[in-house]
Chain A
Amino acid sequence: MEKLIHLTLRVWRQSGPDRPGRFHDYQSGPVATSLSLLELLDLVNERLTLNGEEPIAFDHDCREGTCGACGAMVDGLAHGPKAETTLCQLHLRDLADGGLVVIEPFRAWAFPLIKDLVVDRSALDRIMAAGGYVSVDTGGAPEANVIPIPQPDADQALAAASCIGCGACVASCPHASAMLFVGGKVSQLACLPQGQPERARRVLAMVAAADREGFGACGNHRECEAACPKRLSLRHLARMNREYLSAR
C-alpha cells in the first residue's frame, strides 16, 4: 500500500515583477510519497483553479531532469535537499512527514522575477551567445574521424558539457555567480581540438558577458558544485580561470 504523508507548503507568491511578494501556506492533505514535489504543486494548482484562485506559476517541462526548466529553492536549497536531483525529480518521500516545506524562487539580480516561482534566466542564453559554440557553418565540416581525440579529453569535455542550464549554480551561490555555468562550456571546448581556434576569444567574451549581466564574482564557496544536479566539477571553473588568465 502506498505511504501517505502530509505537508505544509509555504510558497512565495508574487503576481508580477514590480508587485510585492509574500509567502502563502498550502496544506497538502494526505498525499502519496511517490508523488514528486512538482506533482504536488500540480495538485495544489488544480484545487486553486477550482476555487477560482490563481494557480502557482512555475517553470517545468521534461520532468525527467534534463531540460533544466524547473528550479526553485526548497528549504533554502536549490532543487531541494536531494543531491544530484532536479526539482522535478524531488519526491515527497525525500521530505519529512508533517513538515513545513518552504519554496522560494531562484533569486539573483540577473534572474529577475516574473511571477511566483518563475524567473527570467535569459541572461544565460546571452552568455552562450557571446561565444559558447564553435563557429562552423553547415556544410564545411571534414570527415568526422579525421581528428582522433584522446578518450580522456572527450570524457572531460562531455563531463563539462553535461550542464542543463537550470541556474541552480547561480541560485545557490552566495554571490549569485554564473562562473560554473561559464566554466562548463569554456572547459568543454578547451578540451577539444575543434574548440582551439576560438579558445581565447571565447573565454574572454563569455566572462565579459557574465559580468555585464550582473552575476557576482566567484568566491570559491563551492555551493554551485554541490547544488548542480549534474555535479559539474569545480575543475571546469579552475580551467576557465586558467584559460582566461592565459588569454589576457
Chain B
Amino acid sequence: MTTMPNAGLPNAPLPEIWARFQETSPLLSPANRAKRTILVVGTGLAGSSAAATLAEQGYRVKVFCLQDSPRRAHSVAAQGGINAAKNYKNDGDSVFRLFHDTIKGGDFRAREANVYRLAQLSNAIIDHCVAQGIPFTREYGGYLANRSFGGAQVSRTFYTKGQTGQQLLLGSYGALLRQTAGGRLSLHPRTEMLDLVVVDNRVRGIVVRHLLSGQVEAHAGDAVVLATGGYANLYCLSTNARSGNVTALWRAYRRGAWFANPCFVQIHPTCLPAQGSQQSKLTLMSESLRNDGRVWVPKAAGDRRRAPDIPEDARDYFLEARYPAFGNLVPRDVASRQIKEQCDLGLGIDGGRTVYLDLEDAIRAQGLTAIRRKYGNLLDMYQRLTGDDPANEPMRIYPAAHYSMGGLWVDYSLMSNLSGLFVLGEANFSDHGANRLGASALMQGLADGYFILPNTLGPYLAQAGPNPIDARHDSFRSSQEEVNAQLGRLLRIRGSRTAADLHRELGLMLWDHCGIVRSEAGLRAALAKLPRLREEFWGNLMVPGVGVDLNQALELAGRVADFLECGELVVQDALHRRESCGCHLREESRTEDHEPRRRDEGYAYVAAWEYRGQGQAPGLHREPLAFTLVTPGQRSYR
C-alpha cells in the first residue's frame, strides 16, 4: 500500500552529488523561462529569495503573502545569526564539519545528501548577502565577525547584532522589489492561499482569498512554490508570529502532497512565560543568556518567598546538578525537558509553569557593566515586556514551541511528490531532522531560495513542459467553489465560542499530550479528544461579519480549522514513532539513567504521510535514511 519515496539523488559520492545534479540536469533556455509563470507563496527568507532569483533568471513570478508587506514575514524576528563554513576563525571548521554538526544536531533524522548540500552552499549565501549591503557585524579590521552559537565548538555564526533575520530579510525583500520594477514579478500582499489545484498529479495553480475584499481568485502557473513557514502555532502559544499557520501546507496535503515528520516541533527553553489566559504570544529570549545565567527553582514545593529572599541552600540548580559537564549549557531539548519536569513536579515558581534564569552570580563576578555590555538589549527587552529589572530579580522563563522541523515531504530537487509543487524553508520537512541547531534556519531558507530552487526548477520545467491548463479550467472553478463553501460554512455556524478560544484549548491540550515529553497514553488521550474538539468547532464556532470584507476573525477560523486536523496528524505521527528523538522524549524509550533513547533499528526513516480522505487513516510512506559519511551515535551530555 505504500510506495517508497524517491529522493531523486544522482548516483555519486556525497560531496559530488550537487555538482553532478547540476551538470547532468536539462536546462530551460532564457526565452522559454519568460513563458513560464511561477507562483510563490510566502515572502520570508525562502520565498522572497526564491522569487527574486527566479525573476532574475527570466521567469514570470507572482508572489503572494498574507501580510500587508513582504517585509513582515516572520523570518524578520530571527535574532541569533546564520551559519556558514567559512572557517574565518581558523578553528578547524569545514563544509564537512558544518554538515556533521547539522546532521548530528538533527539526531540523524535528516537526508544526508540534502544536509551536505546545505553546508556546501552556506558560504555562497554569506557572499551574496554581503554584496547586497547587509550590515553584518565586523571586527575592528573591517572583516566579518563570527561567534559560536548553539553549542557548536567552532565560531561560524555570522550576525547583525540581534537582528540577523531582519537584515537578511530586508536584503531578499529588496531583491524582490527590484524585480517588481522590472515588471517580471508581481506582488500580491494581503492574500492567503486557500487551495492547491492539482490535475493528473500535476500542480496547476492555487486558489487565494484577497484579505481586504474577501474575493476568492484562481491563479494558474507552471509551478507552485510554497514557502509558508512552520506550524508551531499549532500549540497556540508559541514564539511564532500570530499569523503563522499550516493552512497552505494542509490544503496541499489534502490535495495529495505528503506531510513528513509532522511531530518534529522544536521547543525553545528560554521564552518568557505566559501570564494569564489572554497572553497572545511567548517571546523568545536568546539562549545566549544561558552562558551566564543559572537556571533554578526553589527546593521546596510551595516556597512562595521572593527570589532574593530564598537562600542559596534552598535553591535547586537542577541543570548544573544533573549535567555537571554542560551545566546550564545543555542543548535546547534537554533544558526544555528538565524545566518542564521541575514544573510538572510542582516545583515551578509559585507552583506555576516557570523557572528562574538568574544572572545574580554573573553580575557579582563580572560586574553589571560587563553583563549589560553582553546582554543589554535582551535585559531591556525583558524589562519592557515584564516590567521587572533582571539586574534586581532573576528572569522567569519557560519553554515554548518555536520551530517545526516537519513539513511537506520533498525530494532532492525540493519538489514534493506532486509534480510542480516545490516546498522551501521551514515549510518543507527539511534538513534539520528531529531538531534544529541554532543559526541554521536562516541558512536553510536562503540556500533553498537563492541557490537550490533556481537550479532545480529549470530541469523540472524542461522535462514537464508548459502547463496547458489556465485559471478558467473547471478544476479551478470547482476548487474556488469548495473554498467559498467552507468560508460560508464557517460564517453560518453562529455558535458561542470564538476561534481564538478554541485555538487556545487545542494548544493547551497538545502542549500537555504532545509537547516535550510524550507517552503512549497521553497521545492516545489526545487522539480521543481531538475529534470532539473538532466537533465543537464546527458546531459551536462564532465568526461575525461577512466573507466579502476584511474579516480577521474569519481568517483565524480557517486557520484553526486546519490546525485541528493537522494536530491529529501530528499526534498520530508522534504515536507511531516509539522512540525518543531530537527534541522529544518518548516515555517508553529511555536509557537506564532515564535519558532519551533513539531507536535506529526501527525508526531511521522519514515518515511521509499521505491523505486518504476525510475520516480515513492517513497512509505512511517510509523514506529510509542511510548514512555514508557519518555514523549515528547516541547523544550524551552527562
Q: Are B76 and A32 in contact (CB under 8 A)?
A: no
**CB contact list, B111-144 vs A, under 8 A:** 123-124, 126-144
Given contacts A48-B544, A57-B552, A154-B136, contact A64 B283 (CB under 8 A): yes
Chain B residue nearest to A189 (CB atoms) is B133
Which residues 172-197 in A have Cβ within 8 Å of B in the complex?
A: 188-189, 191-192, 194-195
Whether A141 and B552, one on each chain, are in contact in the complex, defined by CB atoms closer than 8 angstroms, is no
Count residues of chain B with CB under 8 A from any CB of chain A.
Answer: 87
Cβ of B359 < 8 Å from any Cβ of A?
A: no
Question: Are B498 and A49 in contact, CB atoms less than 8 angstroms apart?
Answer: yes
> CB-nearest residue of chain A relative to B131?
A141
- Per the bound structure, the CA–CA distance linking A154 and B177 in Å amounts to 24
User: Which of A32, A55, A155, A191 gathers the greatest number of chain B CB atoms within 10 Å?
Assistant: A55
Q: Are B175 and A151 in contact (CB under 8 A)?
A: no
A20 at the interface (CB under 8 A from B): no
Q: Specify which chain B residues have a CB less than 8 angstroms from the CB of A120 in the assembled complex.
A: 68
- Residues of B with C-beta under 8 A to A42: 278, 280, 500
- Residues of B within 8 Å of A33, CB to CB, are 387
B312-335 to A contact mask, C-beta < 8 Å, 1/0? 000000000000000000000000
Which residues in window 136-155 of A have CB below 8 A to B?
Answer: 136-145, 147-151, 154-155
B498/A144 in contact, CB under 8 A: no
What distance in Å separates the Cβ of A238 from its nearest Cβ neighbour in chain B?
19
Task: Check B189 for interface membership: any CB of A closer than 8 A.
Answer: yes
Q: Is the CB of A158 within 8 A of B137?
A: yes
Q: Tell whether B595 is near chain A: CB-to-CB under 8 Å.
A: no
Chain A residues with CB below 8 A from B454, complex form: 138
Chain B residues in 8 Å Cβ range of A93: 387
Name the B residues within 8 Å of A164 (CB-CB).
Answer: 76, 166
Select which of B74, B212, B284 is within 8 A of A67 by beta carbon. B74
Tell me the nearest residue of chain B to A118, going by C-beta.
B550
Q: How far is the CA of A155 from the CA of B494 in the complex (A)?
A: 54
Q: Interface readout for B498-527 with A: 1 if CB under 8 Å, 0 if not?
A: 101100000000000000000000000000
Contact A68:B544 (CB < 8 A) given known A63-B281, A114-B212: no
Residues of B within 8 A of A18 (CB): none
B133 touches A125 (CB 8 A): no
Q: What CA separation (Å) do A139 and B69 show in the bound complex?
A: 26
Q: Assess whether B131 is in contact with A142, with CB atoms less than 8 Å apart.
A: yes
A66 to B386, CA, bound (A): 17
- A137 adjacent to B177 (CB under 8 Å): no
Which residue, B67, B189, B278, has most C-beta atoms of chain A within 10 A?
Answer: B278
- Check if B71 sits within 8 Å of A68, measured CB to CB: yes
Known: A124-B69, A194-B133. A133 touches B177 (CB 8 A): yes
Query: Using a Cβ cutoff of 8 Å, how many contacts connect chains A and B?
Result: 228
Tell yes or no: B450 within 8 A of A by CB: yes
**CA of A54 to CA of B550 in the docked complex: distance in angstroms?**
11
Judge if B148 is at the interface, Cβ distance under 8 Å: no
Q: Is B150 an interface residue (CB 8 A)?
A: no
**Residues 62-88 of chain A: 1 if any B CB is under 8 Å from the residue's CB, otherwise 0?**
111111110000000000001001000
Closest-by-CB residue of B relative to A132 is B174
Known: A50-B498, A145-B143. A192 touches B135 (CB 8 A): yes
Contacts of B133 in A (CB 8 A): 133-134, 157, 188-189, 192, 194-195
**Complex contacts, B137 vs chain A, CB 8 Å:** 154, 158
Choose one: A16, A48, A59, A158; the contact of B68 (CB below 8 Å). A59
Q: Closest CB-CB distance, B125 to chain A, in whole Å?
A: 9
Q: Are B142 and A55 within 8 A (Cβ)? A: no
A130 at the interface (CB under 8 A from B): yes
Residue contact B181 to A130, C-beta cutoff 8 Å: yes
Task: Kindly state whether residue B488 has any CB partner on chain A within 8 Å.
Answer: no
Q: Which of B68, B177, B187, B241 has a CB less than 8 Å from the CB of A132? A: B177
Q: Is B167 an interface residue (CB 8 A)?
A: yes
Task: Decide yes or no whether A208 CB sits under 8 A from chain B.
Answer: no
Task: Report the Cα distance A53→B542, complex, angstroms.
Answer: 11
Confirm or deny: A247 has a beta carbon within 8 angstroms of a beta carbon on chain B. no
B278 contacts A43, CB within 8 Å? Answer: yes
Residues of B within 8 A of A107 (CB): none
User: At the interface, yes or no: B180 with Cβ under 8 Å from chain A?
Assistant: yes
The reply to whether the CB of B53 lies closer than 8 angstroms to some CB of chain A is yes
Instruction: Evaluate contact between B178 and A142: CB separation under 8 angstroms.
Output: no
Q: How far is the CB of A61 from chain B (nearest CB, A)?
A: 4
B142: which A residues are within 8 A, CB to CB? 148-151, 154
Identify which of A32, A57, A135 contacts B276 (C-beta below 8 A): A32
Question: Can you name the residue of chain B whose Cβ is closest to the Cβ of A69?
Answer: B72
Contacts A132-B174, A133-B174 given; does A54 touch B545 at CB 8 Å: yes
Contact of A145 among B144, B187, B278, B280 (CB under 8 A): B144
Additional 20 contacts, C-beta under 8 A, given A32-B278, A66-B76, A150-B142:
A34-B275, A55-B544, A61-B74, A63-B242, A67-B72, A67-B73, A67-B241, A93-B387, A118-B550, A122-B189, A134-B174, A137-B53, A137-B56, A138-B56, A139-B128, A154-B136, A154-B138, A161-B170, A192-B135, A194-B131
Q: Contact residues of A with B, CB < 8 Å?
A: 2, 16, 31-36, 38-40, 42-43, 45-46, 48-50, 52-55, 57, 59-69, 82, 85, 89, 91, 93, 114-115, 118, 120-122, 124-125, 128-130, 132-145, 147-151, 154-155, 157-158, 161-162, 164-165, 188-189, 191-192, 194-195
